Structure 1
Amino acid sequence: MVHEWKRDRQGNPKRRKQIGPRHPRFHLLLPTARRSFDRVDLKLLKQAAIFQDLDEGEAARVAEVCREHEFAVGQHVFKEGEPGNRLFIISQGEVRISRTIPGSGEEALAVLKPGACFGEMAIFDRSERSTDAIANTSCTLITISRSDFELLLDFNRDIAYKVLWSVVRLLSARLRVTNDNLRSFLAMSMF
């Protein structure tokens, strides 16, 4: 038997219950557990910015909690304001990230290609979605739920360390771009 952990209201891990080998998450708790995951391409998984520093074994551990979902053209992956409970990696197709502007309609912010990761910030800060994600073409997405992701990081400290450093670099790069855009906007508004 192994203990499964969850987080209390303050975010501290606490033991929830004992689980055995027949429990669907048992393999996540054992460091030597092996499982077949034919459907998730490890190279594609490592293309995602937050998983790029993982070695093959660590990427395989992440692949164990991944699921594939297919979306038709125009179908919403998620909508602005929905709770952010999973992250996505594009396996095939394209996803449009957009925002609805009152009086103007939809404004596309980005079109993401295979290997791109999105929705990851809501996993960390437990916030609502700030944009819409819409299938620009028919697409296949790899998803990881927040609960599986947290469990994976709680029981695999090396993976957690590498993923969190990747997130720090990603946020720093995004902040730098935002600062540059703001500087350009302010410079243009002076004329």
Structure 2
Amino acid sequence: MEIEQRIEQLSKVALFKGLTPTALELIARVSSEESHALGTKIFEHGDPGDKLYILLDGKVRISREIPGMGEEALTILGPGAVFGEMALLDEAPRSADARVHERCRLLTVSKDTFEDLLFLHKDLAYEVLWSVVRMLTQRLRETTDKLTFLSVTGKFE
């Protein structure tokens, strides 16, 4: 994949939305591609978070194993989706499993490389910080809306 294509893919990711073209190019240059066959487990609940994934082609199922019940699919992601992004921001282990639902191709950014990049480019670190704030604010609003809906419909008491 050409660097311009990587920049385009990164610009669509919530975590990187609004970054300058220079910032996106820096991240694109440290990204890499992976391909996975159907049924492959990309990571599982409890694994250390070591990279972010952007789905270029195919589908990935995010799920959790429920004791006594089996796998509970939380969502199925398609091209353009991002997952594992919180691994770039904290030290917590993976909160779910990611399995290939349909053969896929991924663009990845490793945590160590990303941290090195932010250390070397303080302007990039500042841009990413504000992008993360916007992303988390949006997620909090969505969660509040969902909780409000559940409360109003009596499904959450």
Answer yes or no: is the 8 Å Cα contact 1:53–1:166 preserved in 2.
Answer: yes
Unaligned runs of 5+ in 2: none
Q: 1:103 aligns with which of 68, 76, 81?
A: 68
Q: Deviations over 1:52-80 (max 9, x none)?
A: 21233221111111111111111111100
Alignment of 1:107-122 (within 5 A): 107-122=72-87
Q: Which moves more between the two structures, 112-121 or 126-135?
A: 112-121
Does 2:106 match 1:137? no
Alignment of 1:37-116 (within 5 A): 38=2, 41-116=6-81
**SS of the residue 1:158 aligns to:** helix
Answer yes or no: is the 8 Å Cα contact 2:37–2:103 preserved in 1.
Answer: yes
Q: Return the index of the structure with the highest Cα Rg.
A: 1
Tell me which amino acid in the other structure corresponds to 1:152. Answer: L
CA distance in 1 between partners of 2:93 and 2:50 (Å)? 9
CA distance in 2 between partners of 1:58 and 1:186 (Å)? 41
**SS of the residue 1:94 aligns to:** strand
CA distance in 2 between partners of 1:57 and 1:181 (Å)? 36
Answer yes or no: is the 8 Å Cα contact 1:45–1:51 preserved in 2.
Answer: yes
Shift of 1:94: 1.4
Tell me which amino acid in the other structure corresponds to 1:38. Answer: E
Aligned residues: 155
TM-score, structure 2 as length reference:
0.88
Note the aligned Cα RMSD (angstroms): 1.9
CA distance in 1 between partners of 2:147 and 2:53 (Å)? 28
Larger relative contact order (Cα-Cα within 8 Å, sequence gap ≥ 6): 2
CA distance in 2 between partners of 1:139 and 1:190 (Å)? 37
CA distance in 1 between partners of 2:72 and 2:109 (Å)? 27
Q: Deviations over 1:102-126 (max 9, x none)?
A: 2222121122222222111122111
Q: Which moves more between the two structures, 83-92 or 48-57?
A: 48-57
CA distance in 1 between partners of 2:18 and 2:142 (Å)? 22
Unaligned runs of 5+ in 1: 1-36
Q: Which moves more between the two structures, 122-131 or 108-117?
A: 108-117
Q: 2:118 aligns with which of 127, 135, 153?
A: 153
TM-score, structure 1 as length reference:
0.74
User: Which protein has the bigger helix share?
Assistant: 2
